[in-house]
Structure 1
């Protein structure tokens, strides 16, 4: 088993990280329902895995934000000779993954404060997890735990994600209902200014269609992604839901109500020591 430093969500979440506590709680509650509603997440994870090179024989692989473990087990299948570790902020997710896939190593911890020693991993993978973190801090930690020449293959979200839902809520009240993310250019600049070397960085829109607003909201709850920076939005009264439904109808297509995600697919590596 890979040696690591003991850590927990409680230790990692300092007072200024109250949002992370809410994220961890929401995702823990969603552990048993997540996979049923994870169509977008599965699609993005599959595209992200295309960045994993097949000509490498890594000894240690880390999945950041491993969730229920279904993507982690696929990564393990890609590198059957490797010792694969899945890490998630939500203890409930880590426990669920451990119960489903006991053959892998699972732990709970903060991506911004990884509980691993320096130069431990050959490959770090992450799909739709680091958007909840400071990208600067993520890159610092990934650089620290990667071996020289190691690879970081990831996907994250950019500005414009869920713009339909944000605009519809804007017709209901002035409160915050949808998370904001940094722009593609700002995130690319952040990577370029880091100690990691950029290999590829591209933006792609991924859209999921829903038959109704209620199904959309149910899926978001099932996924645990209904965390926003400030909980000022009040009770979900029938009147507010009806207003949201009416506002969202302007986006309807033949496929249904769209919910778009601006997804960044990136690959960076830690330079070799010369």
Structure 2
């Protein structure tokens, strides 16, 4: 799975930066929600740098598993490195806050939360968003079966509490974007790194999926049901 993520996000950093409209919107919402003015921060799955570019967070280190994303990120912030959020290369109690926009669903949530708890200082903040069940509804309907295994809200909040996090606040927001037909939606998903039907690698199955998108000849809405959470180490 991680090799697939590296591949998906290491091909189109410049295209992704232009195409990821909903990810940019989510980043701006997260920054407003965070209510953080300063401190030493860590951005998990920093991508092309939306959180750094849209905020006033000067002392922010970005990590990403995709090297091409980091090359783009360095145009704005040299403080970044290639790393896996499940195995953070930082000492205990390093950061005042950790943020993540549209990224932690690509990793093992429990491992990531344990690592975040380790590198945060006492009473440090963890602010993130994550797609939850109810995301990509049109895609699942178009393909006729469940393609995605997004977590449910209670499971995410429970995992935080089990790893010594208190929940300061959370809310759910549905972000949508309309496309003229299924094929344009598929191209957008491709450019933003969303893998469709990764369980099947046969060429025949992939062609069937593309044909289903091409056959959908009417407007279609892409949606992400996003959970925004502000938590703190207890």
Both structures adopt the same fold (TM-score exceeding 0.5): yes
Q: 1:111 to 1:227 in 2, by over 3 A?
A: farther
Aligned to 1:57: 38
For the pair 1:196 / 2:165, whether they are aligned, the reply is yes
Alignment-derived partner of residue 43 in structure 1: 25
Matches of 2:175 and 2:50 in 1, distance apart? 20
Gaps of at least 5 residues in structure 2 are none
CA–CA distance in structure 2, aligned partners of residues 67 and 94 of structure 1: 7
Distance (Å, rounded) in 2 between the aligned partners of 1:140 and 1:270: 11
1:38-65 CA-to-partner distances (Å, cap 9, x unmatched) read: 11101111111112224x531x111111
Tell me if the contact between 1:206 and 1:263 (Cα under 8 Å) persists in the aligned partners.
yes
Distance 1:240 1:155, change over 3 A: closer
How is 1:141-220 mapped onto 2 (pairs within 5 angstroms)?
A: 141-170=115-144, 178-220=147-189
Whether 1:32 and 2:14 are equivalent positions in the alignment is: yes
Q: What do residues 7-49 of structure 1 show as CA deviations (whole Å, max 9, x unaligned)? A: xxxxxxxxxxxx0111111101121210121111011111111
In the TM superposition, what is the alpha-carbon distance from 1:113 to its structure 2 partner? Answer: 0.5
Residue 125 of structure 1: aligned partner: 99
Q: Is the 8 A contact 2:186 2:213 kept in 1?
A: no
Q: How many residues align?
A: 233
Q: 1:98-147 CA deviation, whole Å, 9 max, x = no partner?
A: 1x22x430111111111111111111110010011122111111110011
Matched-pair contact (CA < 8 Å) for 1:23–1:227: no
- Give TM-score, length-normalised by structure 1: 0.78
SS in 1 for 2:171: strand
* Equivalent position to 1:231, from 180, 200, 204: 200
Pairing 1:69–2:49 present:
yes
Aligned partner of 1:79 among 57, 71, 75: 57
Q: Residues 149-195 of structure 1, C-alpha deviation per residue, up to 9 Å, x if partnerless?
A: 1111100011121121112112xxx6x7x332111222122222221
1:72 positional shift: 2.0
The whole-number CA distance in structure 1 between the counterparts of 2:51 and 2:41 is: 13
Q: Which runs of 5+ in 1 are unaligned?
A: 1-18
Give secondary structure in 1 for the equivalent of 2:227: strand
Confirm whether residue 257 of structure 1 aligns to residue 220 of structure 2.
yes
Mapped contact 1:26–1:227 kept (Cα < 8 A): no
Answer yes or no: is the 8 Å Cα contact 1:139–1:196 preserved in 2: no
1:194 and 1:240 map into 2 onto residues whose CA distance is: 39
The CA RMSD measured in Å over matched residues stands at 2.0
Q: CA shift at 1:241, angstroms? A: 4.0
* Aligned-partner SS, 2:13: coil
Over 3 Å counting, the alpha-carbon distance change for 1:231 and 1:29 in structure 2 is farther
Could you list the structure 1 runs, at least 4 aligned residues long, displaced by more than 6 angstroms after superposition: none
